């Protein structure tokens, strides 16, 4: 079996999309100054909300909406904890992920017991974009995908445009660099960071919904399986820039697709697990090379306290 064919590249794009959405989510919150370690839990909660809503209503799009709302709701909780109560971002993020994971598994087990068969949904089917999908190679790889994929494509320039061309985007970047300066210019850092976390939660929820409503068509306990943590890594690799982050997501979508093929082909004697470790190892190397000239937002992980004297 040939591992690298057009189908492989299409699969790479398919697997890159949740990473892309999650990475844009993490990028947004980090650019505003919040390290969101809750992303893993948000993606998982989005996946379950999307799946169960779609299963109950029969509408995939309602499922997508439910996933977005669930992610945003967890984002709001995280925001209250780290922005209003100023809890430590690292430990709180882990706590949010732990809690969300526990609650998702708990409610999934309650809703669909071990013995019963879980409901199945018919996932999104691909839509070939007229003309574009007929371009050799690029067409079948990029333009015969799900509607959610096309939305994800559009998110990249949209987010970049927002960050670099709009007053709100400038405010978001400034709050992540120096919240005191933003406050002195009339921007409310807490409000900006709150909205950024809401948006980040919504995107993370959407990423989760994509996994079972488009990519896999079912919910399993391992559906997210660390993809949230990978997004954390991809933001570092993409140096907090939407386009570079998208490229990093595509690259590791390909790595993911490659290791899946390795697993199923069984013909090549290469441990696929090492490919799973690749994004993390690459991030570590990238961080070593970035060194002190860190590209990250200057106020990342620093709580903002207006009355600090």
Partner 1 sequence: MSEEVPVLVLSGITKTFGNVIANNAVTLEVRRGEIVGLLGENGAGKTTLMNVLFGLYRADEGTILVEGKQIHVTSTADAISLGIGMVQQHSHAVERHTVLDNLLLGLPGSNGLLDKTSALQRLKEIGDAYGLRLDPARPVHTLAVGERQRLDIIRALFRRARVLILDEPTSVLTPQEVEGLFSALRALKADGVGIIFISHKLNEVRAITDRVVVMRRGEVVAGVDNDDTVTNLSLATMMCGHEPERVVRVPHQIGDPRLVARGIELDSHGSQSPLPINLTIHSGEILGIAGVSGNGQVALAEAIAGVKLPRHGSVSIDGVSIDNPSPAVMQKAGLAFIPEDRIGAGFVGPMALKDNMVLSRFSDAPFSRKGWINWKNILDFANMQIAEYDIRPPDPRMPVGLMSGGNQQKAIVARELAFEPRVLIIAQPTRGLDVSAIAFVHRSLMRLRDSGCAIMLISDDLDEIFQLSDRVAVMYENSVVWETPIETATVSTVGLAMNGSLPTQDAAA
Partner 2 sequence: MRLVARTRKTSRVREAMLPVAAVLASLVICGLLILIAGANPISAFGIMVSAAFGGKFALTETLARSAPLILAGLAALVALRTRFWNIGGEGQILAGAMASAWIGALPNLPAPLLIPCMIVGAALAGAALAALPATLKLKLGVDEVVSTLMLNFIVMYVMMALLSGPWKDPLTGWTDSPDILPAAEFPTFWRGTRLHLGVLIAFGAVVVIGVMLSRTTFGLSMKIVGENPKAAKHAGLNVARVTLFAALVSGALAGLAGAGEVGGTQFQVIASISSGYGYAGIVVAMLARLSPAGVIPAALFLAALTTGADEMSRQTSVPFFIADAMQGISLIAVLVAMTLSRYEIKFDSFERASRS
Distance, CA of 111 to CA of 109 (rounded, Å): 6
Task: Write down the least CB distance from residue 124 to partner 2, Å.
Answer: 28
Task: Write down the least CB distance from residue 167 to partner 1, Å.
Answer: 4
62's contact among partner 1, partner 2, none, with CB below 5 to 8 A by partner kind, is none
* Site residues (vs partner 2, CB under 8 A): 35, 37, 81, 84-88, 90-92, 94-103, 105-106, 109-110, 226, 229, 232-233, 236, 271, 273-274, 276-277, 280-281, 283-284, 287-288, 290-292, 294, 296, 301, 305-307
**What angle do the packed helices 6-31 and 227-237 form, to 10 degrees?**
80
CA 217 to chain centre: 18
User: Quick one: 169 or 226, whose CB is closer to partner 2?
Assistant: 226
Task: Write down the least CB distance from residue 157 to partner 1, Å.
Answer: 15
Distance, CA of 199 to CA of 203 (rounded, Å): 6
Closest by CA to 223, choosing from 232, 236, 213, is 213
Distance, CA of 135 to CA of 274 (rounded, Å): 34
Q: Is 46 exposed, middle or buried (0-12, 13-18, 19+ CB in 10 A)?
A: buried
Q: Is 48 exposed, middle or buried (0-12, 13-18, 19+ CB in 10 A)?
A: buried
Contact 42, 201 (CB under 8 A): yes
Binding mask 273-302 for partner 1 (x = CB under 8 A): -------------------------x----
Footprint (CB under 8 A) of partner 1, residues 185-214: 185-188
Task: Write down the least CB distance from residue 150 to partner 1, Å.
Answer: 24
90's contact among partner 2, partner 1, none, with CB below 5 to 8 A by partner kind, is partner 2
Contacts of 47 (CB under 8 A, 6+ apart): 67, 104, 208, 209, 211, 212, 219, 223, 224
**Given candidates 13, 182, 213, 249, which one binds partner 1 under the rule CB under 8 A?**
182
Contact 3, 135 (CB under 8 A): no
166's contact among partner 1, partner 2, none, with CB below 5 to 8 A by partner kind, is partner 1
Task: Write down the least CB distance from residue 105 to partner 2, Å.
Answer: 4
91's contact among partner 1, partner 2, none, with CB below 5 to 8 A by partner kind, is partner 2
Is residue 170 a contact residue for partner 1 (CB under 8 A)?
A: yes
User: Quick one: 122 or 263, whose CB is closer to partner 2?
Assistant: 263
Distance, CA of 145 to CA of 20 (rounded, Å): 15
User: Which residues here bind partner 1, judged by CB under 8 A?
Assistant: 165-167, 170-171, 173-174, 177-178, 180-188, 298, 306-307, 309
């Amino acid at each position: 079996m040939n591992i690298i064919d057009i189908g492989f590249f299409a699969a790479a794009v398919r697997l890159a999309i949740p990473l892309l959405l999650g990475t844009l989510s993490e990028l947004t919150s980090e650019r505003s100054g919040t390290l969101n370690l809750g992303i893993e839990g948000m993606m998982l909660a989005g996946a379950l909300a999307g799946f169960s809503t779609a299963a109950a209503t029969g509408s995939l799009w309602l499922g997508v909406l439910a996933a977005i709302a669930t992610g945003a709701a967890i984002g709001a909780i995280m925001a209250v904890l780290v922005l209003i109560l100023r809890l430590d971002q690292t430990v709180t993020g882990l706590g949010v992920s732990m809690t969300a994971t526990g609650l998702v598994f708990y409610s999934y087990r309650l809703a669909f017991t071990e013995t019963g068969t879980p409901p199945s949904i018919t996932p999104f089917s691909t839509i070939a974009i007229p003309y574009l999908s007929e371009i050799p190679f690029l067409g079948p790889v990029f333009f015969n995908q799900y509607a959610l994929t096309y939305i994800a494509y559009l998110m990249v320039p949209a987010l970049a445009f927002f960050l670099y061309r709009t007053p709100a985007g400038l405010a978001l970047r400034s709050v992540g660099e120096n919240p005191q300066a933003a406050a002195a210019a009339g921007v409310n850092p807490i409000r900006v960071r709150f909205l950024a976390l809401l948006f980040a939660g919504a995107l993370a929820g959407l990423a989760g919904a994509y996994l079972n409503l488009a990519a896999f068509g079912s919910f399993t306990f391992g559906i997210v399986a660390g993809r949230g943590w990978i997004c954390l890594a991809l933001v570092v690799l993409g140096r907090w820039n939407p386009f570079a982050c998208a490229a990093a997501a595509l690259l590791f979508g390909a790595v993911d697709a490659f290791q899946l093929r390795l697993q199923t082909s069984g013909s090549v004697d290469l441990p696929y697990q090492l490919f799973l470790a690749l994004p993390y190892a690459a991030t570590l190397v990238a961080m070593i090379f970035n060194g002190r000239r860190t590209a990250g937002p200057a106020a990342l992980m620093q709580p903002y306290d207006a009355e600090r004297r």
